[in-house]
Structure 1
Amino acid sequence: MQTSNVQPKNKISVAVVFYNPTRAELQQTKCNIEKLMTLTTYQFSFYLIDNGSPTVKIEQEIFAEVSNVVSFVELKNNQGFGKGHNTVLSKLNSQYHLVMNPDIKLDDLKGFQHAIEYLDQHNNVVLLSPLVRDAKTGKIQYLNRQLPTVFDLFIRFLGPNVFPKRQARFTKRFTGYDHIQNEENSTGSFMLLRTEAFKRVKGFDPRFFMHFEDTDLTVRLSKIGQVIIYPSFTVYHGWRRVNHSFKGMFPMIQSMVKYFNKWGWKWY
């Protein structure tokens, strides 16, 4: 009896959480799905989660051409970023799981394949972050950060010209974006996760409604495996910086207090 030499396809699940999505975000997400689907060596499944949007819902007809691989999840109220992603945790039977923002532009398919190959070859890696560039300017977004202190967060809110050397150290501006290295504080805009590890830590901590849920997840995952930045893979990010406005300051402070209460207060 002959045995097949065909290797089983890697199963990759992808989740995107929306809240009052713009048509541009929906179109961009559809475009990302179509691009990923050209990588026929993988088996994809996509979860599009409406996080209780009060005015604008996901226009499902936009995704008609890819509806065979897309599952829609509509939540009754806004669960927050992490809890919204956790709603599909029990459904996942993939090898790798991708947490992706609606404002991500995914063009570097070769880089994506190299990232998956790296994960295949390094079973100890539980979270891989790409190099993130600004969608408009193409400049690096310095998101490979150190673990936060109260001082670092305070001066970042005041602006980039306050203690610039300290801010450059916090974001590893000159050392963190040209080679593979351990990452302490990953960005939630794009996380390529080993699904088993994501499930093992029970996903995001739902106590963080917005802000610090990605930092907290990085810390917990780093206790069971390796978390890295992989600069050979690039994504482009729209990056809404609401946390640098007075409107966004209060939920950020609230989450900051929860984070330091959980992991210990580090002032400087």
Structure 2
Amino acid sequence: MPVLPSVAVVILNWNGKSFLEKFLPSVCGSTYPNLQIVLADNASTDDSVAFVKEHYPQIGIVRNPRNDGFAGGYNDALQHVQADIYVLLNQDVEVEPGWIEPVVNLMQQDPKIAACQPKLRAYAQRDEFEYAGAAGGWMDILGYTFCRGRILYTTEKDKGQYDDVQDIFWATGAALFIRSHCFHEVGGFDRSFFAHMEEVDMCWRLQRAGYRICYCPDSVVYHVGGGSLPQGNPRKLYLNFRNNLMMLWKNLHSEDRWIVLVQRFFLDILAAVKSLVAGKPKDMMAVYRAYKDYYKWRRTYVKTDQLPEMKLMKMNGVFHGIMIWRYYFLRRKYFSTLNH
């Protein structure tokens, strides 16, 4: 009988005792046999670590000296975790007992599958896809990210319409399965991102390294979402805009970089003006600060990876069109209608 890959479910925690109380029971009920569960604590100031030590002594604990966000927190913690496959799981996710087995089985079919995600449904509306990952992450030709089952703020009900295994562009950081050697091979997350888009950036680098990213519909998890920064928060908007621009500069083929970024500049100005007209000046300022800090970052950026350049149009999970044009002007609200 073949030996099952070792799996480490690593939960990044920052002052999340209430989430841990609610969701650790489901994680500890996982049926995968070759499993360890690890709490990676980002210098919490509540008693969440003491709670886990008392009630879940079987869970390993890695304590980071400071809160370096999602990207830095996982990069530091995973230096201390030994497993064939890491599962990076948000603290606000409920899982089903057999959620690990289907994903591992899929990844075992091809060593080139570096990362994979389960189906993400909303914890509060359990028949709907959830914003953070839905049925797999995609990107359009201008770098706008969306998901099968979720475009911008429109989420679909899960009616089995995306129950096929599929190559995707990016796998959600809320429940990310990734081969440990692949994570370290491409340098893990970019810690300068702090939070938001870091999983998209890493999956882009994995594809450039010749790996596949997949979606596994036979595994289902339920995500609360917005546990650290809720939707509509100007800080979240700032990070999404800034990190998206940084990601594009780092990963786009040199022949495409300026073409894409110039178009993005004008579209982002439109988004900022739209926010102002809608009576949301803080959102407009978030876009302004994102561009200011992006240009500051670019002046000092030094390319560190040696990965080959790859044309975006040749990658998996790329929509060969402009998503926001289809969404706002052609009223294509669902993934299945984008091409119509």
| Deviation readout 1:214-259 (Å, 9 max, x if unpaired) | 1101111123311011111111000116242224222332222322
**Residues of 1 paired with 2:159 and 2:137: CA distance?**
12
TM-score, structure 1 length as denominator? 0.79
Is 1:67 the counterpart of 2:57? The answer is yes
**Residues of 1 paired with 2:54 and 2:140: CA distance?**
42
**Residues of 2 paired with 1:151 and 1:128: CA distance?**
20
**Residues of 2 paired with 1:230 and 1:76: CA distance?**
35
Q: CA 1:76 to 1:88, structure 2 compared with 1: closer, same or farther past 3 Å?
A: closer
- Of 229, 241, 246, which residue of structure 1 is paired with 2:215? 229
Is 1:19 the counterpart of 2:14? The answer is yes
Is 1:120 the counterpart of 2:108? The answer is yes
The count of residues paired between Structure 1 and Structure 2 equals 245
Q: CA 1:151 to 1:99, structure 2 compared with 1: closer, same or farther past 3 Å?
A: closer
Given that 2:118 and 2:218 are in contact with CA atoms closer than 8 Å, whether structure 1 keeps it comes out as: yes
Of structures 1 and 2, the one with the larger relative CO (CA 8 A, separation 6+) is 1
Task: Tell me what 1:8 maps to.
Answer: 3
For residue 137 of structure 1, report the CA deviation from its aligned partner.
0.6
Q: Give structure 1 stretches of 5+ with no counterpart.
A: 1-5, 157-164
Given that 1:104 and 1:236 are in contact with CA atoms closer than 8 Å, whether structure 2 keeps it comes out as: yes
For residue 83 of structure 1, report the CA deviation from its aligned partner.
1.1
In percent, how many aligned pairs have the same letter?
Answer: 18
Q: CA 1:94 to 1:220, structure 2 compared with 1: closer, same or farther past 3 Å?
A: same
For residue 97 of structure 1, report the CA deviation from its aligned partner.
0.8
TM-score, structure 2 length as denominator? 0.64
Q: CA 1:212 to 1:151, structure 2 compared with 1: closer, same or farther past 3 Å?
A: closer
| Deviation readout 1:179-237 (Å, 9 max, x if unpaired) | 11111122110101111211211211112111110110111112331101111111100
Q: Give structure 2 stretches of 5+ with no counterpart.
A: 265-321, 323-340
Please identify the structure whose Cα radius of gyration is greater.
2
For residue 46 of structure 1, report the CA deviation from its aligned partner.
2.3
Task: Tell me what 2:122 maps to.
Answer: 134
Decide which moves more: 180-189 or 59-68: 59-68
Q: CA 1:253 to 1:66, structure 2 compared with 1: closer, same or farther past 3 Å?
A: same
- Of 24, 36, 45, which residue of structure 2 is paired with 1:45? 36
Q: CA 1:205 to 1:175, structure 2 compared with 1: closer, same or farther past 3 Å?
A: farther
Task: Tell me what 2:245 maps to.
Answer: 257
Q: Which residue identity lines up with residue 115 of structure 2 in the other structure?
A: L
What is the SS of the residue equivalent to 1:187? coil
Q: Which residue identity lines up with residue 85 of structure 1 in the other structure?
A: Y
**Residues of 2 paired with 1:39 and 1:182: CA distance?**
24
